[in-house]
Amino acid sequence: MSRVIWRERLDSTMTEAARLAAEGIPNGTVVAARMQTAGQGRQGREWLSASGDGLYCTFILRLAEVPAITLALGLAVVEALTPIVGSGLDIRWPNDVLWQGKKLCGILARLEHGVVLAGIGINLNQLQFPPGLRTPATSLRLATSKTFDAEEVLNQLLGPVDQATQLNREEILRLFAQTSSYVSGRRVRVDLDGSILEGVTDGLDEFGFLRIRKENGARETVYAGSVRPLK
């Protein structure tokens, strides 16, 4: 059973979760904030976190094993949001949750002193987004024409996250391949923090890494980096 700690305002739920984890707070605790002043994205990028716009939370997970945990978290978000938006959800490897090709949710996890800090940001009530985002974004409101309360959405997420963290790696990879259109046959460009790789996705390897087949037939495995669709 998850315990949720709500704060009006934090610099980042990741920072607060790290502090609480260091104090020994139990597995399954969730830190959530109405707004963040320094929401964290990958590679030092900012996650926009205005009050009321989104759900900003970090799950503190003490797991015996960490098999493909970030893939499992994307599955949990899809599970939680499917009753809200219906069809049209997709996961872009490893774990950006998209609705009709636009980013609805970002997930970023840290393994720190043996504890997984799983940050999840879900766009709820935005009607527009600032220009210059790396991926076009959307929100639950844009998807459904309704407004959402962060606490209600988080409550819907607790069960799916709990279940997803109990899956073994084979189950996670099988479910991921069923859920994500990016696993195979998708033409993509991968930004490997400097170099660019282009090709067609060719399944996951046994650990959950994304295999890419290049035009010359060579295969590469992607461990990290940003995957973007190519027309």
Partner 1 sequence: MNIEEIKELIQLANDTGVAELEVQRGEHRVRIQRAVAQREVVLPAAAPVAVAAAPAVLAAAAPALAPAEKDNLYTVKSPIVGTFYEAASPDAAPFVKPGDSVMAKTTVCIIESMKLMNEIEAEVSGTIVARLVENGKPVEYGEALFTIRPN
Structure tokens at 9: 């305002």
Q: Could you say whether residue 70 binds partner 1 (CB under 8 A)?
A: yes
Q: Which stretch binds partner 1 (CB under 8 A): 5-13, 83-91, 181-189, 190-198?
A: 190-198
Q: How far apart are alpha carbons 192 and 182 in whole angstroms? A: 17
Task: Among 110, 169, 211, 213, indicate the residue that binds partner 1 (CB under 8 A).
Answer: 110
Q: Could you say whether residue 27 binds partner 1 (CB under 8 A)?
A: no
CB contact at 8 A, 199 and 213? yes
Q: Could you say whether residue 217 binds partner 1 (CB under 8 A)?
A: no
- Tell me the chain's radius of gyration from C-alpha atoms: 17
What's the closest the beta carbon of residue 173 comes to partner 1, in angstroms? 11
CB contact at 8 A, 27 and 52? no
Q: Could you say whether residue 208 binds partner 1 (CB under 8 A)?
A: yes
> Pairing state of beta strands 4-10 and 30-36?
parallel
Structure tokens at 77: 């978000």
Q: Is 61 helix (H, G, I), strand (E, B) or coil?
A: strand
CA dihedral for 13, 18, 19, 23, sign (positive or negative): positive
Toward partner 1, which CB reaches closer, 8 or 206?
Answer: 206
| Chain centroid offset of residue 192 CA | 19
What's the closest the beta carbon of residue 118 comes to partner 1, in angstroms? 9
CB contact at 8 A, 134 and 150? no
Q: Could you say whether residue 44 binds partner 1 (CB under 8 A)?
A: yes
Q: Phi then psi for 162, rounded to 5 degrees?
A: -60, -45
Toward partner 1, which CB reaches closer, 148 or 182?
Answer: 182
Q: Could you say whether residue 223 binds partner 1 (CB under 8 A)?
A: yes
| Chain centroid offset of residue 231 CA | 24
Toward partner 1, which CB reaches closer, 33 or 69?
Answer: 69
Q: Could you say whether residue 111 binds partner 1 (CB under 8 A)?
A: yes
Q: Could you say whether residue 112 binds partner 1 (CB under 8 A)?
A: yes
What's the closest the beta carbon of residue 104 comes to partner 1, in angstroms? 16
Q: Could you say whether residue 54 binds partner 1 (CB under 8 A)?
A: no
Which residues contact partner 1 (rule: CB under 8 A)? Answer: 42-45, 66, 68-71, 93-95, 107-113, 116, 192-194, 207-209, 223-225
